[in-house]
């Protein structure tokens, strides 16, 4: 049999179900019927992200996300966008540390078109990949870096905190955007080798959710994807294991033209998929998840020392997750005042844990967020792929809400006490400067460089 049925879900959250199948070439397929509206979502996750990159070639995963929209054997130029949008659909792609995904939401009668398009570029992108498309998308990605990282207030905070949180040489030390130098260094052959290794059917999960006929959908998938050969040359990502606690406070001060002083911090937290990660999510929701949170009430409402205070979770499966603290100060308030207040609130929470009311509110908030994702065909398709790629079982997506609701207040307090500590965080302190300050600093650096050059001139080597 070219395609085998491997599992059928029991009723999950809200009675949702999913079935799993596998093609002979290794492509995993997950289907979930939903006839509420006449639309269908196609989601394709490739098990490749920035953690799979090597030093000197960072940014390739994200660059390839762009190259996948530059044409394939049967579809030239921007044809993928034009065909999907012309059929009344929407589409995009994203890259993270742990995966690259592509997705379309289509009128149900246009589902076959989306499947054909995804199969065509999986099977034949190399036929269209040339120096022109490579240079075009290299420039697009470099522009994206300038617009989203380098030329916006606090834009490099994520990159800086990631580099602090994960040591040099760790697979998560660099972010998916990559460096300008590495983007410039990437060659066409680098890109081709990256595609051959990672864009194979046995390195992907395809989910289709919505108003579908499963038997017909499977027939289309076999027709378009079944002849694409598998590839066995992929190496597993480097080990992302780290101690639970950093062991010290890592700190960096950033002098930039920003609107206000800011305190940002990343705390090392349990891996996604662990029960303790769900407990950490609840802890951060109580502490900094919205206007009813402890930090907002303390810093913004009571002390009026901040204009914004949030605490969220970056879930990661292959490395410790990160608890992400972001506080923007108000007026002339200094960062040490903010930091003292934050540490007081964290210490109190570690000692006392959440109240029953806070626990109920946090669980309801996370439950609503999960059900919002599962309630749309596109969101459910993405979650089914996520759990299949990262945890090996798409069915876990349908019971994720139940696992969050099963966490106790004691577990929430325990993870906060163990992890939300000053010796387990990387800290960024932003201090605003004026354009004149920046110019003066640059001039001083140039003068120092010139003096160093003069000092070494004429010296025997």
Q: Which two tokens stand for residue 108?
A: 């149900």
Rounded to two decimals, the pTM is: 0.90
CA distances from 85 to 78, 79, 91, 224, 243 (A): 11, 10, 8, 21, 47
Residue 271: exposure state from Cβ atoms within 10 A (0-12, 13-18, ≥19): middle
Among candidate residues 78, 183, 84, 76, the one with its CA nearest the CA of residue 135: 183
The pLDDT assigned to 460 comes to 39
Provide the 10 A C-beta neighbour count for residue 447: 10
What is the rounded distance in angstroms from the CA atom of residue 96 to the CA atom of residue 48? 9
Element containing residue 159 per DSSP (H, E): helix 157-165
Cβ–Cβ under 8 Å, residues 228 and 203 = no
The pLDDT assigned to 450 comes to 52
Among candidate residues 318, 297, 319, the one with its CA nearest the CA of residue 306: 297
**What are the residues whose beta carbons fall under 8 Å from the beta carbon of 55, sequence distance 6 or more?**
169
Q: What is the 3-state secondary structure (H, E, C) of 76-98?
A: ECCHHHHHHHHCCCEEEEEECCC
Q: What angle do CA 140, 99, 19 make, to 5 degrees?
A: 130
What is the rounded distance in angstroms from the CA atom of residue 212 to the CA atom of residue 195? 30
The pLDDT assigned to 400 comes to 94
Among candidate residues 166, 197, 174, the one with its CA nearest the CA of residue 322: 166
Cβ–Cβ under 8 Å, residues 102 and 172 = no
The pLDDT assigned to 178 comes to 87
Q: Is the dihedral of CA 275, 277, 283, 285 positive or negative?
A: negative
Burial track 428-438 (b if 16+ CB lie within 10 A, e otherwise): bbbebbeeeee
Q: Which two tokens stand for residue 394?
A: 């798409």
Angle, in degrees to the nearest 10, between helices 356-374 and 377-391: 100
Mean pLDDT by 10 residues, the chain (461 residues): 38 73 98 96 97 91 92 91 97 97 98 98 93 90 91 95 96 92 91 93 98 98 97 89 97 96 98 98 97 97 97 98 98 95 98 98 97 96 98 96 97 98 98 74 53 44 32
122 phi and psi angles, rounded to 5 deg: -65, -40
The pLDDT assigned to 10 comes to 40
Cβ–Cβ under 8 Å, residues 103 and 382 = yes
What is the rounded distance in angstroms from the CA atom of residue 236 to the CA atom of residue 47? 10
What is the rounded distance in angstroms from the CA atom of residue 425 to the CA atom of residue 324? 10
Cβ–Cβ under 8 Å, residues 367 and 401 = yes
Cβ–Cβ under 8 Å, residues 178 and 137 = no
């Amino acid at each position: 049999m070219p395609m085998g049925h491997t599992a059928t879900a029991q009723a999950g959250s809200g009675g949702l179900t999913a079935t799993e199948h596998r093609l002979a070439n290794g492509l995993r397929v997950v289907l979930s019927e939903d006839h509420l509206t006449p639309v269908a979502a196609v989601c394709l996750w490739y098990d490749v992200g920035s953690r799979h990159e090597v030093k000197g070639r960072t940014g390739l995963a994200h660059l390839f996300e762009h190259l996948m929209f530059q044409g394939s054997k049967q579809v030239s130029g921007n044809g993928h966008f034009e065909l999907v949008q012309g059929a009344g659909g929407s589409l995009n792609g994203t890259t993270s540390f742990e995966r690259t995904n592509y997705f379309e939401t289509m009128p149900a009668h246009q589902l076959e078109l989306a499947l054909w398009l995804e199969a065509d570029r999986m099977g034949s992108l190399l036929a269209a990949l040339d120096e022109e498309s490579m240079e075009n998308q290299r420039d697009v990605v470099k522009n994206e870096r300038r617009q989203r990282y380098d030329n916006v207030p606090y834009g490099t905070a994520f990159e800086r905190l990631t580099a602090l949180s994960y040591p040099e040489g760790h697979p998560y030390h660099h972010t998916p955007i990559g460096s300008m130098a590495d983007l410039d260094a990437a060659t066409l052959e680098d890109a081709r080798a990256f595609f051959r290794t990672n864009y194979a059917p046995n390195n992907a999960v395809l989910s289709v959710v919505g108003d579908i006929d499963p038997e017909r959908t499977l027939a289309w998938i076999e027709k378009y994807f079944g002849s694409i050969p598998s590839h066995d040359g992929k190496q597993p990502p480097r080990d992302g294991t780290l101690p639970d606690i950093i062991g010290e406070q890592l700190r960096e001060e950033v002098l930039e033209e920003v609107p206000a002083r800011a305190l940002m911090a990343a705390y090392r937290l349990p891996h996604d998929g662990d029960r303790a990660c769900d407990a950490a999510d609840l802890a951060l929701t109580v502490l900094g998840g919205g206007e009813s949170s402890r930090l907002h009430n303390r810093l913004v409402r009571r002390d009026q020392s901040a204009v914004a205070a949030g605490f969220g979770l970056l879930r990661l499966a292959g490395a410790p997750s990160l608890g992400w603290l972001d506080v923007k100060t108000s007026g002339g308030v200094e960062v040490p005042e903010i930091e003292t207040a934050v540490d007081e609130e964290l210490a109190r929470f570690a000692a006392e844990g959440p109240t029953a009311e806070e626990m109920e509110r946090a669980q309801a908030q996370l439950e609503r967020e999960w059900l919002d994702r599962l309630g749309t065909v596109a969101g459910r398709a993405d979650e089914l792929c996520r759990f299949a790629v990262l945890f090996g079982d798409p069915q876990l997506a349908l019971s994720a809400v139940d696992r969050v609701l099963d966490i106790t207040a004691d577990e929430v307090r325990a993870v906060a006490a163990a992890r939300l500590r000053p010796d387990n965080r990387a800290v960024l302190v932003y201090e605003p400067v004026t354009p004149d300050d920046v110019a003066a600093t640059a001039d001083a650096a140039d003068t120092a460089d010139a003096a160093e050059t003069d000092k070494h001139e004429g010296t025997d080597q």
